[in-house]
Amino acid sequence: MKPKILVTEALGPEGLAYLREHSDLTAYDMLPAAELPGMIGEFDAVIIRSAHRITRDLIVDRPRLKVVARAGAGVDNVDLDACTELGIAVVNAPGANAIAAAEHTFGLLLSVMRNIRLGDLHVRHGGWDRQAHLGEELHGRRLGIIGLGRVGRNVARIAHGFRMEVFAYDPYITEDLFQANGAIRKDTLESLLEVSDVLTIHTPKSGPHLTEPLLRLLPRDAFALNVARGGLYDEDAVVRVLEDGHLAGFGCDVFPKEPPNPDAPLFKQPRVVVTPHLGGSTHEALANVGTMTARGVIETLAGITPPNLVNVPIPPLEVPQLTALDRMCHSLSRVFSQLNPVFGSRLILTPGRQVPTESLPWIRQNLIAGVLQNRVDERVNTVNALIKAKEHGLTLTVDENPKAPDALSLNLRWDDQPQSQAEFEWQQNGSGGLHLRQINGISFDLAWPEVALVTRHQDTPGVVGQIGTLLGEFGVNIGNLHLGRRSLGGEAIMVMALDTPPTEALRQSLLNIPGISAVYWFD
């Protein structure tokens, strides 16, 4: 059965087409905000843009709702804390409109510096005074960028095409990213402002607030731009530094309140160019945003980790590596949880030495969620894993052992149950893909199948033959099987790759074979 998804605002044909293919879709160009509370509980996911707010009151006691998506980069209109506590994944579309926003930045800048808006009005009213509308060139100017994220990096690349000298302030990224984008790093905001003939900001709402003392650090006759978030500039301060000539011009696409008051003092300044929040709005950007948002929602509902989850610490990995680790976490936690039903004191995770360190917080949450999912009667997933772990007294410690395998592998065990450990590895060579290395401390080396039947039994003659005979009677074919045991005559584990999933009746029949203590299957 397809999931039900609600789209509250125009999303774009590409995104809607993808959603229609994979879901039962209800879509509006603009759903009245007053109608959303009465509808949201009927859907598995809701996708909003800017006109709606997702608050705690709106989503509490909505057990069906699993995903909230914001078709855009920011999530200021989503209560992230409430979504996280309730295990509701939040998806956005970071970077999908980065090129559009960067290009709009230069559209505003050129309009201000070359007097394009004023010149247009002058000609329309019968004027032709070219001298009065002389502009200034970007060539050779020093551009200061606050925030070298996706938009800021595209701004830097475009600036080089105008032969501008690029400086940037961003305390959260590495020196490599500054060098890769041809930006000279400034370690303080103040030092950036002092060298910026043109200033542009590309940060979230939590970025620096540009007050009058800061704006006066800019060189006289500098230009400033805001194509990021409303409120990052003190608009009253902008008016004052424009009026006394310290600031030569200002381009603004976003405002603290939208739509803004048309009588605002800012709009009376001749060298100010404003647009109605168009930065990320091009046909191409809307298509990218719609598609990225739609894919993120569908993948999340399918149990796949997309790279655009907001309230989960998704590591900055390439998609193939992220997918490999996600599959490994999913299989490891399921196998470990089923074969070790008794809670221990704490979980110990030993990652292989090829597991990226930056992925460990996400892996930790992923595994905790998988272990808890079948043990509690409430929603537990990667989103709220740490909250639920604390409620249930579960801890997971990462043991970055230098003697761990030189592999992309994960080993999980209970601290006080040494024979509980299970281990999977993602192999690039040979048969490739996901491989099982251990179950309950017993060694294996096999490609993990799409359908796996696992038995725990005594290592006595005849048990394996009876299992094969019974599967034949149920019409289930064995692709291959692997056996492991602790000792001769001791506990043994068999893993079978099946062509079709087993039934509950088959599982019960297997349990009736003498010597078999447990049967599990994974598909």
Active-site amino acid positions: 229, 258, 277
Contact 148, 154 (CB under 8 A): no
User: Which 8-state DSSP code applies to residue 195?
Assistant: T
Cα three-residue angle 349-354-355, rounded to 5 degrees: 45
Residue type, position 515, single letter: G
Give 64-88 as a 3 state SS string.
CCCEEEECCCCCCCECHHHHHHCCC
Residue 335, classified by CB atoms within 10 Å of its CB into exposed (0-12), middle (13-18) or buried (19+), is buried
Contact 239, 267 (CB under 8 A): no
Q: Which residues pair with 91 in a beta bridge?
A: 69, 309
Contact 81, 105 (CB under 8 A): no
Cα torsion angle, 42, 45, 49, 52, sign: positive
What token pair was written down for 358?
């930056």
User: Which 8-state DSSP code applies to residue 325?
Assistant: H
Cα atoms in the Cβ-side hemisphere of radius 13 Å centred on 455: 29
Sheet of strand 452-458, all strands in order from the earlier edge strand to the far edge: 478-485, 491-498, 452-458, 516-522
Q: Return d(Cα 86, Cα 4) in angstroms, integer.
A: 19
DSSP 271-301: TEEE-SS-TT-SHHHHHHHHHHHHHHHHHHH
Which residues, other chains included, contact 287 with Cβ-Cβ below 8 Å and sequence gap of 6+? Answer: 12, 13, 14, 15
Cα three-residue angle 318-302-454, rounded to 5 degrees: 95
Query: Considering all CA atoms of the chain, what is the largest pairwise distance in Å, rounded to the nearest integer?
Result: 102
Give 128-171 as a 3 state SS string.
CCCHHHCCCCCCCCEEEEECCCHHHHHHHHHHHHCCCEEEEECC
Q: Return d(Cα 513, Cα 523) in angstroms, integer.
A: 23
Closest CA to 210 of 193, 188, 237, 233: 233
